[in-house]
Homo-oligomer: A and B are copies of this chain.
Amino acid sequence: MDTAEYQHFAWLARSFGRTDYLPLTPADLEALADAGSYVDKYPGTHLFKEGEESNAAFVIQRGEVELYRSRSSGRRVVGRVRPGAVIGDIAMFQGQPYVSGARAITRVRAFRLERSRLLPLLIEHPVIAMRWLVAGLSQLEATQQRVIRLMHRTVREQVAEVLLDETDDYGEVHLSQSSLADLLGASRQSVNEALASFKSSGAIETGYRVIQVKDPAILEKVAGRAVSVPT
């Protein structure tokens, strides 16, 4: 049960942290300026901790933030977000505790939207509120699709899928194989086996805590994603 629950939070955190989740425009932020203020965080300090009462959402302006979740076996990173990301908002709207913690990696500047001041302001700006909520809705729905896409597939397929999703701008995935396994709910050994097969087919290179994606096309094929085949 703990594993499944952890995975849930992991997925939520990962998806909520995606930079493509941008419910707010600069104009919106200006309108909401009264609801919060900028905060600066030094590396290692928390924007919020998991389980804490969710009384604020954050829009990352600069720096990198790590989303983590504690477990019996210590802290586990479940995602990293960059400037532009909005975090903590869905928990805030639901009035639920934060599902994951957020910790600054580099120096971080973020705009902190206070729940108590934000909600009244959103009442005055219903359009923003609705766009925000609908964005959250779509985000959750997309996450759900992702989860269901991973269900009932071989570990090999799942690994290919996740590798494609987690690749950064430099074609690298910065996750240990056991983190990868945790994320999928698979065993480390099976993940390793899948990676070995990808490595031998030249799709990736493996290193210590790093995987370099050399040929995404191969992974896409394995993951069963629509490949545009020239006919």
Footprint of B on A, CB under 8 Å? 1, 3-5, 7-8, 11-12, 90, 93-94, 122-123, 126-127, 129-130, 133-134, 136-138, 140-141, 143-145, 147-149, 151-153, 185, 224
How far is the CB of A5 from the nearest CB of chain B, in Å? 8
How far is the CB of A91 from the nearest CB of chain B, in Å? 10
How far is the CB of A93 from the nearest CB of chain B, in Å? 5
How far is the CB of A17 from the nearest CB of chain B, in Å? 16
| Structural contact, A4 and B93, CB atoms closer than 8 A | no
| Structural contact, A3 and B152, CB atoms closer than 8 A | yes
4 smallest beta-carbon distances between A and B, as pairs? A126-B126, A133-B133, A8-B148, A152-B185
> Which residues of chain B are within 8 angstroms of A137 by Cβ–Cβ distance?
90, 93-94, 133, 136-137, 140
Q: In the assembly, what is the distance between CA of A230 and CA of B192, in Å?
A: 44
> Which residues of chain B are within 8 angstroms of A141 by Cβ–Cβ distance?
12, 90, 94, 140
Q: In the assembly, what is the distance between CA of A224 and CA of B90, in Å?
A: 28
A148's partner among B7, B134, B138 (CB-CB below 8 A) is B7
Q: In the assembly, what is the distance between CA of A1 and CA of B151, in Å?
A: 10
A138's partner among B94, B134, B224 (CB-CB below 8 A) is B94
Q: In the assembly, what is the distance between CA of A130 and CA of B4, in Å?
A: 30
Q: In the assembly, what is the distance between CA of A1 and CA of B227, in Å?
A: 14
> Which residues of chain B are within 8 angstroms of A148 by Cβ–Cβ distance?
4-5, 7-8, 11, 147
